[in-house]
Amino acid sequence: MGNMENSALIDKLEYYMGHSEDEKSMAVMFTEEEINILRTIKEFEQLRGIMESEYAERGNGGTDNAAYIEEVFQRRERERDISFRLKGQFACQADLLLEEGMAENWLQVLTWYQLLKGKGLIVNRFWEFPVLETMLQAFLEELKLFYTNGQAISVLAMHSLEEITGTYFDIVFLLRRMEYGVEPIDGMVSYLSEKGLSMTVVRTVLEAARIFDKRKVKDLLEGWFGKDG
């Protein structure tokens, strides 16, 4: 594995941001799946622009709390269909990239995710996104270790968004069972061995998950796997 970077996709996206009307270049630079995402993002931003101007024309309802609440919900309802469409397109693109099990492709998923997050689109509307963000964080931690000591990047064994989400919850469930003494640590040991996942992934999930006594779980893990396990 060479020195990985993701500048090609970032360069293309930067060009697109400045020349989004240039359909001809777009067709050359991007795949069909990528074009679908970019077109929907553009449509989404236009919809938000329309809603903003309507809101400005109507006024903000002053101190009328009920009017404000109604406004917030109406906006959300108008964004519903396009949100689901964009989510589907993102999932399709992510699965194509993840299927190959390559670190370069994970970086591309990260870039697409950051694009949506940076624009404030859908990542705070579907629970799969915070899960993906955690696993992308685990990937970055593993990537650092790969460069430092050649340690394998274990998350590459996950080949779809569905698999990533499933693995995330499997780990959270195992951690919580340890926390409350529902199951001993053996369950976690077997799972990690079966899936070939590293402790880096487990530690990242532990930090992000709703585990109340993180210290206790961390101590249990370190007791079994060691501090650097």
Distance in Å, CB of 139 to another protein, minimum: 19
Buried b (16+ CB within 10 A) or exposed e, 113-123: bebbeeeebbb
Identity of the residue, 78 or 159, whose beta carbon is nearer to another protein in the bound complex: 78
Cα–Cα dist 205/19, whole Å = 39
Cα–Cα dist 212/206, whole Å = 10
Distance in Å, CB of 81 to another protein, minimum: 10
Cα–Cα dist 207/205, whole Å = 5
Identity of the residue, 22 or 64, whose beta carbon is nearer to another protein in the bound complex: 64
Count of C-beta atoms within a 10 Å radius of residue 56: 9
Q: ∠ CA(201), CA(7), CA(126), 5° rounding?
A: 50
Distance in Å, CB of 129 to another protein, minimum: 8
Q: Which tokens hold the place of 9? A: 């996709």
- The backbone torsions φ and ψ at residue 54, rounded to the nearest 5 degrees and listed phi first, read -60, -40
Q: Which tokens hold the place of 172? A: 């959270």
Distance in Å, CB of 172 to another protein, minimum: 6
Q: Which tokens hold the place of 168? A: 């995330």
Cα–Cα dist 109/92, whole Å = 11
Identity of the residue, 112 or 168, whose beta carbon is nearer to another protein in the bound complex: 168
Identity of the residue, 143 or 217, whose beta carbon is nearer to another protein in the bound complex: 217
Identity of the residue, 152 or 182, whose beta carbon is nearer to another protein in the bound complex: 182
Distance in Å, CB of 179 to another protein, minimum: 8
| DSSP code of residue 30 | S
Please say whether the beta carbons of 36 and 24 come within 8 A: no
Identity of the residue, 96 or 214, whose beta carbon is nearer to another protein in the bound complex: 214
Distance in Å, CB of 205 to another protein, minimum: 12
**Where along the sequence are the contacts to another protein (CB under 8 A)?**
65-66, 69-70, 73-74, 76-77, 80, 124-127, 129-131, 166, 169-170, 172-173, 176-177, 180, 182, 210, 212-213
